[in-house]
Chain A
Amino acid sequence: MSGGRRTPKWNDPGVVAGNGLLDRRVFLAGGAAFAAAITGYALSEPVAAQQLVDAPWSTRPGVPIPDYGVPSRFEKDVARTLSNPSGAPRTQHARTPHQLLTGTFTPNGLHFVISHSGYPDIDPGTHRLVIHGMVKRPLAFTLDALGRYPMQSRMTFVECGGNSAPLFSREPVQGTAQSLHGLVSCAEWTGVMLSTLLEEAGVDPTATWLVAEGADSLAVSRSVPIAKAMDDAMIALYQNGERLRPGNGYPMRLLLPGWEGNMNVKWLRRIKLVDMPAMSYYESRTYAPILPNGKAYQFYFLQEIKSFITHPSPGLSLSGQGVYEISGIAYSGNGRIAKVMVTADGGTSWAQAALQEPVHSKAFTRFRVPWRWDGAPAVLQSRAWDEAGNVQPTRAQIIAQRGETATAVTNAAAFPSQHYNGPTSWAVGPGGDVTHVYA
């Protein structure tokens, strides 16, 4: 035991909320403020003096640089989890390992994928995008042609409507940030605004919807209101600067910033302008969550405001008392994140987190708050606000409206309902282990 440690008090310099949450500016301020804030903290095991010597890799020429870079061989655990790796005839889910990543965008190889029948191995030279139906001029576009249109880039998250669904379980499902929330990712997408192409085709003013369809074997299709198409919809051709990955829709996908992942149709080959929704399988059956009274929500377009803590989180145990940075991601389908509050005492008191600039609309925003853990049990949770005035609801509010399962869900990959956007609570035990709880 170290003699320098004591339990932080409310009136300690830098402490802004219970259980040792520190002012978000502590790290930035540095110097005296930081020193004051960490008063009471001492390294329990000072690093032993050690004779530093050249390691083997420093005494010989290194490995030749490959043509396409991949992560260090020591990072093999940073990978997606696969629900159906053999491609059995059912849906495949590849979940993003949020607890092993930081920053605000998802590397392309780790972007989540849901595919209902694998990915089509599309030859970009023969792929076509057709726009037809209620238009003056039905048109076909090659990838080369689209490459000559004015392009835009934007950061945006894509989230499956079923992401975070285990939190509808009556009892907390034990899992990592990846297993509970791995069906959301964020990238910089570059492509042609759909409005540009629709105006070239000349949309009939009485058309109200479009039906978007992929070139996959299921020809997945979804109906999209034209107002969204004319607002900020994009035919995305690039993902984080390179061509879309096959699982994410190569060579082109529909991007509907802030809207339900399944509507962002991948391998896009056809857009039909119509005057009613098609009531496709995925909109009329799959992505229509059942309510406690036996009715079901239809056209649940938006991915509403959400946040969750990635560090610490299950699988990332704390290695001893002291100062840590709590961090996580917040996002809203309604615009920019305005504020994130974090609690370490299960919601009794809250500290405002620092937001990583720049804060993009409908994109991941990294939040951070310093925390001095004194070894006592703690319950961490984040809650977000967006610029449109939306507040992330509490779990109790969601359950009151949407219900929860009658019995505990035991499988973290289950989808007991959809569109959970409440908070996630992580309990830190005396040994520093982190588990999922409701608080």
Chain B
Amino acid sequence: MRGGEGASACLFALAMLAFWGTAARAQGPGLGTPVSEAEIAAWDISVMPDGSGLPPGSGTAAQGAPIFAAKCAVCHGASGKGGPSAALVGGAPLTSGIDTTKTIANFWPYATTLFDFTRRAMPWTQPRTLTSDEVYALTAYMLALNGIIDDRDVMDAETLPGVRMPNRDGFVVRFPEKTP
């Protein structure tokens, strides 16, 4: 092969590489199927700390107590005192040691997380079977057990994000340069 041919073949390869590099990053074959938010609704269970994503409905600790006894106490113990799974009440101060058990009262920064995780993951054997009212009631029950809200406080999409958790300001962002 003469040098000229080699060079042009090389240039062509480079051009193809550049094309593919751009194409691969900028656009794939475009095989995603459009879906509407209505079609995604059953999967869209993210609740954000500002309350966005919370569904309609409401509940109080009094309403949550019998639901807890029926569906949660088998693992978390009567009144959330602990059983095969973690206790949901109390908790030592975090200055007790780096291995202090993290609890709703001593650690969780946002009450919305309680709603989100209960709805998406509980009860363990039947996740996503609770109604929105039941999740609000259980959330209220757990918050009231820990003295964070009053027994009669109604939890709903308006009130839950406003609950101030005791350890809300207890965090240091580890990598601020990588955290928007």
Contacts and interface: CB of A to CB of B under 8 A. Distances in A.
Interface of A: 88-90, 117, 130-132, 137-142, 145-146, 148-150, 168, 192-193, 195-197, 199-201, 208-209, 211, 213, 217-219, 221, 225-228, 269-270, 272, 274, 276-281, 284-286, 288-302, 402-406, 409, 414, 416-417
17 contacts: A131-B32, A132-B37, A132-B44, A139-B34, A140-B32, A200-B30, A217-B121, A281-B117, A284-B109, A285-B107, A296-B94, A296-B107, A296-B172, A297-B172, A297-B173, A301-B174, A414-B99
Interface of B: 20, 23-37, 40, 43-50, 75, 84-85, 93-95, 97-100, 102, 107-110, 112-113, 116-117, 120-121, 124-125, 127-128, 170-175, 178-180
Contact of B172 (A201, A285, A291): A291
Nearest to A404: B98
Contacts of A404: 98
Nearest to B107: A285
A279 B117 contact: no
Contacts of A293: 95
Which 4 interchain pairs have the tightest Cβ spacing? A139-B32, A208-B180, A294-B95, A145-B31
Given A209-B180, A300-B174, A140 B27 contact: no
B29 A149 contact: yes
B23 A150 contact: yes
Given A278-B48, A298-B173, 11 more contacts: A130-B40, A141-B32, A196-B28, A201-B32, A217-B127, A281-B117, A288-B171, A296-B170, A301-B174, A405-B98, A417-B98
Given A211-B46, A219-B45, A403-B98, A227 B180 contact: yes
Contacts of B23: 150
A227 B175 CA distance: 13
A159 B128 CA distance: 29
Contacts of B173: 297-299
Q: Is the interface of B mostly helix, strand, loop or mixed?
A: loop
Contacts of B109: 279, 284
Contacts of A228: 178
Contact of A294 (B47, B93, B174): B93
Contacts of A405: 97-99
Contacts of A195: 25
A168 B97 CA distance: 11
B32 A197 contact: yes
A358 to B, nearest CB: 21
B86 to A, nearest CB: 9
B108 A284 contact: yes
Contacts of A88: 84
A274 B26 CA distance: 21
Contacts of B75: 89
Nearest to B94: A294
A289 B46 contact: no
Contact of B20 (A150, A276, A417): A150
B50 A276 contact: yes
Contacts of A217: 121, 124, 127
A278 B51 CA distance: 10
B175 A302 contact: yes
